[in-house]
């Protein structure tokens, strides 16, 4: 039994669990996943959550370890992870399972690695792709959960996180978590830069957790094989992803896909004009997020939507809707603050477009430089304990 002076479990890392793109090879067998994780909190024990939320069938993890992570994929001193005392676990379709607590001291700024081995054919459906500067992992053929190094000839890198949704640490009472919720923009680097900023400028009491899935919308989802990987709609995602241990604040940057996706069935039979929201629709969807967050006793900060001029479906009516939604987010009194990402990255002389050097290349996603600016736009008060201030 774990004897401890610390009494609070707090999420120190997290990802959404969405739907991986459907391909014939969406099954794997006899392989190891290894995910290095940067820790934002001190703690003396760890537990992990494995989630088969989007799976159609059970999956079995035959062995799992947690270890100190060195450089790249290398680890030392792997510790077995157990689930109700067993070193293997089967997770039914649509369900998630939390491990037993693992006594292991972790330090803020240090790195750990979670390794998972799958012996039998496994449906690789419950996953999310993340491309942040701190985010990535590895896979290898065979069982390497106890190996300090992955074999070079049998391993490769991946930005797809399968099944691993949360890592909690047992820590002290003042520690807490900010959840960053959104779509592909949040699945890229601005959250990673916010994590780095928390390490550099925060007071050590705040973890930053990402819950983001590419292509997702507030109001709609695609229930067909072609756009399966565009993920789940907000009313399915938000209650599953956001209420993690120790979270008291959520930053929501979501809604641009609702605006840019509909093109009409004459262009794409899966993207009808009937999916095009009104401003009132978007506000109502955001109000549901706010209502849920208040039920979880969380503070709510809204992030404005970024410029989209030049994106392939750009049109003036979409720009007008984006601006109107942003204006509502800037002025509503229903939340604790608005983080004006749009203002931070737009061209002041042409606010429909990114500023010079801030366009990631497709006129929708921010560059690395813009992602750093987005992270810097988050109020420093959110990265420290005490009374939170409006943005």
In a domain, 228, yes or no: yes
Residue that finishes a domain, picked among 111, 143, 167: 167
Give the Å distances, CA to CA, from 30 to 19, 116, 142.
22, 11, 5
For residue 1, being part of any structural domain is answered with: no
DSSP 282-317: HHHHHHHHHHHHHHTT-EEEEEPPPP-TTSTT--HH
Q: Does residue 113 lie in a domain region?
A: yes
7-18 pLDDT per residue, tens: 899 999 999 999
Q: Say if 388 falls within a structural domain.
A: no
Q: Is residue 3 situated within a structural domain? A: no
Report if residue 282 sits inside a domain.
Answer: yes
Mean pLDDT of the chain: 95
Indicate whether 145 and 201 sit together in one domain.
no
Mean pLDDT, to the nearest integer, of 89-112? 97
Q: Give yes or no for residue 290 having a pLDDT over 60.
A: yes
Verify that 19 and 95 share a domain, yes or no: yes
50: CB partners within 8 A, 6+ apart? 61, 89, 91, 96, 97, 99, 116, 163, 164, 165
Parent domain of 121 = 9-167
CB burial of residue 381 (10 Å; 0-12, 13-18, 19+): middle
Tokens 């009104």 sit at which residue?
278
Same-domain status, 111 and 234: no
Which CATH number characterizes residue 361's domain? 3.40.50.1110
Angle at 315 between CA 218 and CA 258, to 5 degrees: 5
- 359 pLDDT higher than 60: yes
Per-residue pLDDT band for 281 (boundaries 50, 70, 90) equals very high
Q: How confident is the model at residue 386 (pLDDT cuts 50, 70, 90)?
A: low
Q: Which residues contact 152 (CB under 8 A, 6 or more apart)?
A: none
Q: Which of these three, 167, 197, 227, is where a domain ends?
A: 167
Q: 52 and 136: one domain?
A: yes
Number of domains in the chain: 2
Whose tokens are 């990802």? That residue is 15
Q: Predicted confidence band at 1 (pLDDT cuts at 50, 70, 90)?
A: very low
Q: Which of 350, 349, 329, 332 is nearest to 341 (CA)?
A: 329
- Judge whether 187 lies within some domain: yes
The backbone torsions φ and ψ at residue 250, rounded to the nearest 5 degrees and listed phi first, read -130, 135
Tell me, yes or no, whether 112 and 139 share the same domain: yes
Tell me the β-bridge partners of 61: 89
Among candidate residues 129, 150, 167, the one where a domain is terminated: 167
Report if residue 208 sits inside a domain.
Answer: yes
Q: Do 251 and 287 have their domain in common?
A: yes
Q: Do residue 231 and residue 306 come from a single domain? A: yes
- Pair 159, 224 in one domain: no
Mean pLDDT of 300-308: 98
Asked if the model's pLDDT at residue 4 lies above 80, the reply is no
pLDDT at residue 387 is higher than 90: no
Provide mean pLDDT across the span 340-360. 98
Q: Which of these ranges, 67-76, 264-273, 325-334, has the smallest mean pLDDT?
A: 67-76
pLDDT of residue 6 exceeding 90:
no
- Check residue 40 and report its DSSP letter: -
Q: pTM (2 decimals)? A: 0.95
Whole-number percent of the chain with pLDDT over 90: 93
Whether 254 and 238 map to the same domain: the answer is yes
Is 326 in contact with 343 (CB distance < 8 Å)? no
pLDDT beyond 60 at 390: no
Same domain (yes/no): 141, 192: no
Question: Over the Cα atoms of the chain, what is R_g?
Answer: 21
Task: Supply the pLDDT for residue 105.
Answer: 95
Question: Is the domain of 152 the same as that of 204?
Answer: no
Q: Are residues 84 and 114 in the same domain?
A: yes
């Amino acid at each position: 039994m774990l004897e401890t002076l610390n009494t609070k479990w707090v999420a120190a890392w997290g990802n959404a669990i969405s739907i991986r793109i459907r391909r014939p090879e969406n099954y794997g067998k006899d392989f190891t996943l290894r995910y290095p994780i940067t820790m934002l909190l001190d703690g003396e024990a760890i537990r992990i959550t494995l989630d088969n939320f989007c799976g159609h069938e059970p999956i079995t993890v035959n062995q799992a370890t947690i270890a100190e992570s060195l450089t790249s994929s290398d680890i030392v001193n792997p510790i077995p992870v157990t689930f109700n005392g067993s070193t293997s676990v089967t997770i039914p379709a649509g369900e998630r399972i939390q491990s037993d607590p693992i006594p292991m001291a972790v330090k803020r700024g240090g790195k750990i690695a979670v390794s998972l081995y799958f012996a039998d054919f496994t449906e690789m459906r419950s996953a999310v792709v993340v491309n942040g500067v701190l985010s990535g992992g590895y896979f290898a053929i065979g069982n390497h959960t106890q190996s300090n190094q992955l074999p070079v000839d049998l391993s490769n890198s991946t930005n797809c996180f399968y099944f691993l949704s949360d890592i909690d640490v047992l820590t002290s009472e003042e520690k807490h978590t900010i959840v960053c919720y959104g779509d592909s923009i949040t699945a890229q680097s601005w959250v990673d830069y916010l994590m780095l900023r928390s390490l550099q400028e925060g007071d050590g009491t705040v973890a930053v957790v990402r819950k983001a899935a590419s292509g997702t919308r507030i109001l709609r989802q695609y229930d067909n094989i072609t756009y399966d990987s565009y993920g789940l709609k907000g009313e399915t995602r938000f209650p599953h992803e956001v209420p993690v241990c120790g979270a008291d604040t959520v930053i929501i940057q979501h809604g641009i896909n609702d605006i840019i996706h509909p093109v009409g069935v004459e262009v794409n039979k899966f993207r009808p004009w009937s999916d095009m929201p009104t401003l009132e629709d978007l506000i109502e969807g955001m109000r549901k997020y706010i209502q849920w967050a208040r039920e979880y006793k969380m503070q709510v900060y809204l992030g404005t939507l970024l410029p989209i001029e030049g994106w392939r479906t750009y049109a003036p009516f979409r720009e007008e809707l984006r601006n109107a939604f942003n204006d509502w987010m800037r002025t509503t009194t229903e939340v604790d603050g608005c983080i004006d990402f749009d203002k931070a990255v737009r061209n002041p002389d042409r606010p429909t477009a990114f500023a010079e050097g801030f366009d990631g290349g497709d006129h929708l996603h921010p560059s690395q430089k813009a992602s750093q600016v987005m992270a810097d736009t988050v109020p420093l008060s959110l990265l420290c304990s005490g009374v939170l201030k409006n943005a």
